[in-house]
Amino acid sequence: MTEIRTDLSRCPLFDRLAPALLEQLAGACRAIRRRKAETIIREGEPCEGFFVVAEGLVRVYKIAADGRERTLHVVRPPHSFAEAAMFAGGGYPAFASALEDARLVLVPREPFCRLLREQPEAAVRMFESLSMWMHRLLDQLETETFLNARAKLASYLLRELRRRPAGAGPARIELAQPKKEIASQLGMAPETFSRAQADLESAGLIVVAGRSIQVPDPAALDAILLGDFQGRAVS
C-alpha cells in the first residue's frame, strides 16, 4: 500500500494532495502489473477507473475495422491515462497496452469522484490534466492535416529535443522505442519513416546512428515545418 501511495504522490494529479487524503485514496486503489505487449484496457470496455503509470511505458491506440493500429500517445511515468473515460460514459475510448513491463495503479472511479467533489484543488489538477490531453490531441490533428512525412518527423525530433534537460550537451536524441512504433505515433508506415529519415539526413539536417539521432542545427530543422522541402529534387 505504501508503494501505491508513493506512486500516486508522484503523479501531477496528486502531488499537492494532503497526505491524509492521499493515504485514503491509495487505500481504494489497486496495483496492477502488465508484461510487455499485454493489454491494459480495450476500447468500449466499461470504465472501472483510470490509471497512473508508475513504471514502464504505456501505448494508447486505436484499431481500425481492418485491424490496422494507430498509436495515439505513449504515456510515461508518472503520468496518467483514461481520465476522460470516467465522465463521458460509453466505456473506454481507446485501447492501451504495455510497451515495456509496467507497473500501474488503478484509481477506481467512485473513490476518485468523491475526492473531486470534496477537494476543489484536486479538481483543478484534473482540469489541467484533461486540458493537456486536449492540447496534445489538437496538436496531433494539426500535425496530421498540415504536415508531410518529413515535417512530421522533424516536428517529432524537435519535440523530443525540448523534452530534454536544459543545456544537456549536444542536441542528441535516443529513441526509446522501435522506429516502427514511432512511425505509428506519427501516422505513417515504417518504410515512410525510414525514407523521411534518409531525406533529412542527406540534407544534412540530422545525423543518424542506429537509434541515436543528432541534430546539428535545430533551427534549420525547424524550417522544414514551414515552406516545403526540396530534398528529393537533388537530381
Partner DNA sequence: CGGAAGGTTGACCCGTCTCAACCAATGTGG
Partner DNA sequence: CCACATTGGTTGAGACGGGTCAACCTTCCG
State the angle between helix axes of 109-118 and 19-28 in degrees (0 to 180), rounded to the nearest 10.
160
Q: Binding to DNA by residue 198, rule CB under 7 A?
A: yes
Least Cα distance to 39 among 99, 111, 115 occurs for 99
Closer residue to a copy of itself in complex, CB, 6/148: 148
205 CB-near residues (< 8 Å, 6+ apart): 154, 215, 216, 217, 220, 221, 224
* Cell 530543422 belongs to residue: 221
Give which of DNA, a copy of itself, none residue 223 binds (C-beta under 5 to 8 Å, depending on kind). none
Between 26 and 99, CB nearer to DNA: 99
Place of cell 542536441: 171
Yes or no: say if 112 and 49 are a contact pair by the CB < 8 Å rule.
yes
Q: Kindly tell me the sign of the dihedral angle through the C-alpha atoms of 174, 137, 197, 99.
A: positive
Site string for DNA, 81-120 (x = CB under 7 A): ----------------------------------------
By CB under 8 A, is residue 18 in contact with a copy of itself? Answer: no
What are 68-75's contacts with CB under 8 Å, separation 24+? Answer: 69/184, 70/184, 70/187, 71/181, 71/184, 71/185, 72/137, 72/140, 72/185, 73/136, 73/185, 74/99, 74/177, 74/185
Residue with Cβ nearer DNA (120 or 227): 227
**Which span sits near DNA by CB under 7 A: 1-9, 82-90, 136-144, 189-197?**
189-197
Contacted by 137, from a copy of itself, DNA, none: CB < 5 to 8 Å by type? a copy of itself
Should residue 208 be labelled a site residue for DNA when binding is judged by CB under 7 A?
yes
The one of DNA, a copy of itself, none whose footprint includes residue 148, by CB under 5 to 8 A per kind, is DNA
Instruction: Considering only residues 134 through 173, tell me which ones interact with DNA, judged by CB under 7 A.
Output: 148-150
* Contact footprint for a copy of itself (CB under 8 A): 62, 64-66, 68, 70, 72, 84-88, 90, 93-94, 113, 116-118, 120, 123-124, 126-128, 130-135, 137-138, 140-142, 144-146, 187, 225-227
